[in-house]
Amino acid sequence: MKVDGIELNKIRDNLWEIPKTDGMRVPGRIYISREMLESTLSEIEALKQVMNVAHLPGIEKYSIAMPDIHWGYGFPIGGVAATNLDEGVISPGGVGYDINCGVRLASTNLTLEEVQPKLENLISKLFQSIPTGVGASGAIKKLSKSDLKKILEKGSVWAIENDFGNQNDIKFTEESGTLRNADFSVVSERALERGADQAGTLGSGNHFLEVDVIEEIYDNKVAEVFGLFKGQIVIQIHTGSRGLGYQICDDYLKILIKASEKYGFKLPDKQLACAPIKSQEGRDYLAAMQAAANFAWNNRQVIMSLAKKCFQDTFKIKESDLGFNLVYDVCHNIAKIEKHKIDGKVKEVCVHRKGATRAFPPGSDMIPEKYKSVGQPVLIPGDMGRYSYVAVGTEKAMEETFGSSCHGAGRNLSRHKALKEAKGRDLVSELKKKGIIIQAKGYKTIAEEMPLAYKDVADVVDVMHNEGITKKVAKLKPLGVIKG
């Protein structure tokens, strides 16, 4: 198949390859069905970005894209690339502005029958307790510089030390909620100012807190290990590092654009600005990005603690009866140093996941002991009108995608097009007729995030399931949502 000059060779039913051409160091690979590919071709720029990423110095094996691929800054959203630590680079475009945007899933002992009568009250209480929207602040007291330093260097540990959760939450957070080489000193004053009052806030755009019911279980054994059952009430939290992470990305893009020139990199897109991982610029960006990632893990931890209190207050229930437990927390905008087998040898590489979720297999030393027999939970939110999925990582993901999978539905319409499509519609009422309660700062966010704006996440998840990269465990149906 050839589209707009881009050759796409079918490898398997859900895997296509773009051969090396014109300076590409490796081929491009896209996990996608033919039907989804044909609809994605209208956004040809995302495929060109897969090719652009393949030009990065030190890139290993492939420039990879997931089935939720769409156009992004530098990398496509849904992009994965691993660069070696010798001549390889690190690129903010492979992480994104919302550093460590991710998803947290918490389970409860409650069932749909118990929650339904008080659902509106619960959603209202959550909306009042957890600040949402652009520049949202005030969930907890404004942080001192000393506390902010601790959060940037300790991540979720700070929240636990300050009574926002318990030690078990650390066990079930990717990287135990802390990247240990984070460095407060390489974060700008402006970034610190923006983060000082944003711990425990959702923000805007596609960020949300959602109350779901488990509608279907696909793998009883894995679901049991994860503590999930049909009819159970669970909570998803989707947010990141807020203004602090955005500012860090903005600051370092300026630095790395200059570094790209300094090191003589010939790249097809200046949005792929990068620096050698071992250079001062590369080390500083990695340390600042890790600080933002720690802020994001702490942010989701605080939000989860606030949500738990809302549940207890709404249902007048003891903590032991509520059973509000973290299943897992995954990030999907990050670059991390990991070990992977490449050409038969184990190598340390910098894995960029931009709109992609880590998906490690059974037995991995990087996942909680409780999950080692089955693999890492992979959390894949959909849109607020349909469903989301819990999947599990596999060995095939390690072999083919550097232990990575999709991160969500992927946009189908731009925000501008979604607003046009929503004109004249009452989306709040439409969702209510489906049994979904929504509260948001303004109608504009609801319109931009309307279900039609996204691909059907079931199609995305099925591609990864059918390819054996991740396996479906459970389907979640939304009951109530709060947004910015």
pLDDT tens sequence across 73-94:
999 999 999 999 999 999 999 9
CB-based contacts of 83: which residues, under 8 Å, 6+ apart? 56, 57, 58, 59, 60, 89, 90, 277, 349, 350, 352
In the chain, the percentage of residues whose pLDDT exceeds 70 is 99
Q: Report the relative pairing of strands 2-3 and 6-7 from DSSP bridges.
A: antiparallel
- pLDDT at site 309: 96
In the chain, the percentage of residues whose pLDDT exceeds 90 is 89
**CA gap 296, 301 in Å, rounded:** 9
Closest CA to 465 of 372, 363, 397: 397
Do the domain assignments include residue 43?
A: no
Do the domain assignments include residue 5?
A: no
| Helix residue spans in 329-474 (DSSP H) | 395-400, 415-422, 427-433, 443-448, 457-466
- pLDDT at site 41: 67
Residues with catalytic annotation?
A: 407
Asked whether the predicted pLDDT for residue 39 surpasses 80, the reply is no
Q: For the residues 437-462, what does the mean pLDDT come to?
A: 92
Range of the domain at 407: 102-483
Q: Residue 451 maps to which CATH number?
A: 3.90.1860.10
Q: Is 88 left (phi over 0), alpha (psi -120 to 50) or beta?
A: beta
Q: For the residues 119-136, what does the mean pLDDT come to?
A: 92
- Residue reference for tokens 């038969």: 344
- pLDDT at site 135: 81
**SS3 state of residue 401:** coil
**Residue 11 phi/psi, 5° resolution?**
-95, -50
Do the domain assignments include residue 354?
A: yes
Task: Tell me, yes or no, if the pTM score tops 0.85.
Answer: yes
Do the domain assignments include residue 23?
A: no
Q: For the residues 1-5, what does the mean pLDDT come to?
A: 81
Closest CA to 101 of 353, 349, 348: 353
Domain tally, the chain: 1
Do the domain assignments include residue 77?
A: no
- pLDDT at site 366: 96
Instruction: Name the token pair of 363.
Output: 């037995």
Do the domain assignments include residue 333?
A: yes
Asked whether the predicted pLDDT for residue 42 surpasses 70, the reply is no
Burial of residue 471 (number of CB atoms within 10 Å: 0-12, 13-18, 19+): buried
Say which amino acid occupies 17: E
Instruction: Name the token pair of 16.
Output: 């296509």
Do the domain assignments include residue 36?
A: no
Do the domain assignments include residue 24?
A: no
DSSP 49: H
| Helix residue spans in 98-241 (DSSP H) | 112-115, 119-129, 145-154, 156-161, 167-171, 189-195, 220-226
- pLDDT at site 142: 83
